[in-house]
Structure 1
Amino acid sequence: MNDNFIIPAQRIVGLPVNGSEASFPVRRIYCVGRNYAAHAREMGFDPEREPPFFFCKPNDAESVVPVPAGASVALPYPPRTENYHYEIELVVAIGKTGRDIAPEDAAGHIFGYAVGLDMTRRDLQMRMREQGRPWEIGKAFDYSAPIGPITRVADCGLLEAGAIALSVDGKTVQSSDLAKLIWNVSETIAQLSTLFELRPGDLIMTGTPEGVGAVRPGQRMVGTVDGLTPIEVEVL
């Protein structure tokens, strides 16, 4: 491979891993849309179990924001929006290559889990949706993916149920259970692997429950998933 680049190469983003001094290198970030029925309803959709759909976020250091354990990270309020939304999500870290993975084999491809936020410029996303255009400007912007430390599946077990919640300035705004995912983690991995070959370093943001809403500068968000390290993020 030729490593003599004409401009500086993109730096690989690493997420902290609980119990290790080594980081998890982020390769790609896949996101699942409308994967909780109540959230689908609040977004104006019928929550029937249609095939899942996916979109991506950038994997660069300007987009992925590692949130260390016990620390609070600041996010700048993004430009061109007046409706900046939080979406708490379970993040699945892939540790083994696979394509056309059967649901019953999906667990063997999981390295671990983390808590993440799919930050969204909702007004821009909705404008694009109404025009039948891609969502990138609403979803794939700088600092749009704060993600906490990864807990290895060997340490926490497979997460098929458990509370997921987000608070803003101490008030709970999102609260649900992983058991309410329309497509559970194994099914999501199986479906995604028919579209892309999954590789170590890939992240899957599995969808957000109901209660999404706007956040303003000066507000502090705390996201939790049972069994995982919480994340704390403040908006500048």
Structure 2
Amino acid sequence: MKIFCIGRNYAAHAAELGNKAPGKPMVFMKPPTAILPNNKPFYYPDYSENIHFETELVIKIAKNGRHVQPQFAMDYVGAIGLGLDLTARDLQNELKAKGHPWEIAKGFDNSAPLGKEFFAPEQFADLNDIEFRMEKNGEEVQHGHSRNMIFDLTALICYVSQYFRLQKGDLLFTGTPEGVGPIAKGDELVGFLSLKDGEREMFRTRVK
């Protein structure tokens, strides 16, 4: 299983961090050991003092393929879920300033809490406008709509598949909207995803 991630895919999020919106999708990857499943707690590591939450729609790839063409891209969307791209912002800023890769700021162990469920595309009212949100300690901190992505699902699947062979079961984290912020020990992070039949709780992660 490969875990593809997209950076700066919402203009408002890029702006809140003082970054320009990209002209092409920004792709990075996390190792499988980044996945934190089944609402397990996240233990704050000792190598960072500024870990941020980033709530993201996650696509589970339905089949194998390369060089996917736009008219076939949505056939590769097997199911849709919700997860977190936890980011060690202090490490990331330090590495970016030096021009170094920043995988350790994004791909560290348990940096991708993932909801227990994925839902088939037909369970959503509009795949071009999927709504999701996250609460921290009962207060909403992020609220996103996929219509605000700079690069939509079709564009992302086509772009990523130019460079990497997509395989059934791969995950694609599609970027985060504005509202990212730090986490601290004792925080509870709860993510919600809107389906045709209403909103579902997708993950509930306690920071320890």
Bin of the TM-score, shorter chain as denominator length: over 0.9
Distance 1:191 1:205 in 2: 14
Which moved further from structure 2: 51-60 or 159-168? 159-168
Corresponding position: 1:42 with 2:16 = yes
Which has more helix, going by share of residues?
2
Tell me the TM-score normalised to structure 1 length.
0.82
**1:114–1:229 Cα contact (<8 Å) kept:** no
SS at match of 1:126: helix
TM superposition shift of 1:155? 3.9
Structure 1: gaps (5+ residues): 1-26
Q: 2:120 aligns with which of 136, 140, 152?
A: 152
CA distance in 2, matches of 1:85, 1:105: 35
State the identity %: 37
* 1:199 equivalent in structure 2: 167
* Structure 1: distance between partners of 2:99 and 2:18: 16
CA RMSD across the alignment: 1.4
1:166 CA displacement: 1.2
**Distance of 1:173 and 1:156 partners within structure 2:** 23
Is the 2:55–2:176 Cα contact (8 Å) retained in structure 1? yes
**2-structure distance, mates of 1:229, 1:171:** 14
Question: In the alignment, residue 38 of structure 1 is paired with which amino acid?
Answer: A
Q: 2:43 matched to 1:82?
A: no
> Normalising to structure 2: TM-score of the pair?
0.93
Q: State the partner residue of 2:26.
A: 53
1 CA distance for matches of 2:72 and 2:64? Answer: 12
**AA at the equivalent of 2:68:** I
The answer to whether residue 138 in structure 2 is matched with residue 170 in structure 1 is: yes
What's the counterpart of residue 102 of structure 1? 69
Runs of 4+ in structure 1 deviating by more than 6 angstroms, as ranges, are: none
Q: Which moved more, 1:181-190 or 1:149-158?
A: 149-158
Aligned residues: 203
